[in-house]
Structure 1
Amino acid sequence: MRLTDPRALRAYAHPLRMSLVGLLRSSGPFTATRAAELTGESVASCSYHLRILAKYGLVEEAPGGRGREKPWRATARYTEWPEYSEDATVAEAADALSTAVAERYFERVTRALENRHRLPKEWREAEQFGDSLLHLTPEELAGIGERIDELLRPYEARASDPSLRPEGARPVSILRIAYLDQDIPDSEEE
């Protein structure tokens, strides 16, 4: 799903809404009652935020509900938004969403690092945490992104089809963040 409406971008930037969409993608469909159990929020709050997400097409009612207990499901596996826009309103809303997503990523990474001592040795050794400083052109950076996408693509179907997961497979989040590092002086000297 690609969001370009500034109202939708701002709506999705809410932390609980991002959590709900993520949970529906990984564990849905489920009701607002189950959403409250998973998030620690009230049923009324989850119901309200699910309706807002539905307004912008990020979630929809799933079949099989009874009475007031209606299940929800995500409408897409991924959400995209503009990296750049000539429209200042879209650009501002997209940047705010990107910032909210980065904050969410780093909260999750921090929690994972705080709890990694509980993991079996093989998972602690397999996890990765580090960085690389490369000198690239925009075209080279885009090419690296395309190659990373190619590396990950064979594993993507496992998210929606558990029969494809080998024994011992667990959910692993892989963050891909590459940015022009403006904190390091640009030097033409070699």
Structure 2
Amino acid sequence: MPEEISDAQPEGEQPRSIRLTDPRALRAYAHPLRMTLVGLLRSSGPFTATRAAELTGESVASCSYHLRILAKYGLVEEAPGGRGREKPWRATARYTEWPEYSEDAAVSTAADALSAAIAERYFERVTRAMENRHRLPKEWREAEQFGDSLLHLTPEELAGIGAGIDELLRPYEARASDASLRPEGARPVIVLRIAYLDQETPESGKE
């Protein structure tokens, strides 16, 4: 199932993921600033709309509005510790999931639009990372992964590969919310998992 990759919120326990199935929620989350706010809350929250404005360069009023929209669909919530009108917000989960297939045309259309928006966001970040690679130490440049593989798989085999990758990565997830588990030298790393049916390469070997 599609899953937005994001660092976990560092304070407290929270659900691993929230699943969006309402077309209105899917469309709401596809907004670039809202995706940015959720990502920042997961990596640097809780924080107020004022702090959100400082981090994003948007106005406080705009951040406050979009945080309320996110709260409406369960992606963020008010955090304790606010004073006066300066209420902090926090993410409700570490990841966001949505259907990869639905018989409901409205859900399917909204989910595909969200997937496209997330893909665009991923590759903007990959491009920035590539532009700044020259600043990295040698060991990080050698460790980073950039490549692709063309495999001939059944749907079941592809799903199995995805499950295997999830199992491989899961032991490292707790480090996001518990800094004491991180070994010396550990830094935040984004791992993208993208596998799709290649409809451009001609099939061969079939009788």
TM-score by length of 1: 0.98
Q: Report the alpha carbon displacement of residue 41 of structure 1 after superposing the two structures with TM.
A: 1.2
Task: Select the structure that is richer in helix.
Answer: 1
> Does residue 137 of the first structure (1) align with residue 137 of the second (2)?
no
Describe the SS at the equivalent of 2:132: helix
Q: Report the alpha carbon displacement of residue 38 of structure 1 after superposing the two structures with TM.
A: 1.2
- How many angstroms apart in 1 are the aligned matches of 2:83 and 2:111? 37
Unaligned runs of 5+ in 2: 1-17
- How many angstroms apart in 2 are the aligned matches of 1:40 and 1:121? 32
Q: Report the alpha carbon displacement of residue 118 of structure 1 after superposing the two structures with TM.
A: 0.7
Q: Which residue of 1, 4, 7 corresponds with 2:24?
A: 7
Per-residue deviation, residues 28-62 of structure 1 (Å, max 9, x unmatched) = 10111111111111111111110000000000000
Per-residue deviation, residues 49-98 of structure 1 (Å, max 9, x unmatched) = 10000000000000000011110000011111000000000000000000
Superposed CA RMSD:
1.0
Structure 2 equivalent of residue 156 of structure 1: 173
- Using CA pairs under 8 Å that are at least 6 residues apart, name the structure with larger relative contact order, 1 or 2: 2
Unaligned runs of 5+ in 1: none
- How many angstroms apart in 2 are the aligned matches of 1:99 and 1:176? 14
Q: Report the alpha carbon displacement of residue 186 of structure 1 after superposing the two structures with TM.
A: 2.1
Structure 2 equivalent of residue 58 of structure 1: 75
- How many angstroms apart in 2 are the aligned matches of 1:188 and 1:33? 60
Describe the SS at the equivalent of 1:73: strand
Describe the SS at the equivalent of 2:97: coil
Per-residue deviation, residues 91-129 of structure 1 (Å, max 9, x unmatched) = 000000000000000000000000111111111111010
Structure 1 equivalent of residue 60 of structure 2: 43
Q: Report the alpha carbon displacement of residue 138 of structure 1 after superposing the two structures with TM.
A: 0.3
> Does residue 77 of the first structure (1) align with residue 130 of the second (2)?
no
Structure 1 equivalent of residue 37 of structure 2: 20
- How many angstroms apart in 1 are the aligned matches of 2:182 and 2:60? 33
Describe the SS at the equivalent of 2:193: coil
Per-residue deviation, residues 114-161 of structure 1 (Å, max 9, x unmatched) = 011111111111101000000000000000001100110110001111
- How many angstroms apart in 2 are the aligned matches of 1:122 and 1:87? 48
- How many angstroms apart in 2 are the aligned matches of 1:41 and 1:167? 35
What is the aligned residue count?
A: 190
Overall identity of the aligned pairs, in %: 91
> Comparing 80-89 with 178-187, which one deviates more in the overlay?
178-187
Structure 1 equivalent of residue 14 of structure 2: none
Q: Report the alpha carbon displacement of residue 25 of structure 1 after superposing the two structures with TM.
A: 0.7
TM-score by length of 2: 0.90
Describe the SS at the equivalent of 1:79: strand
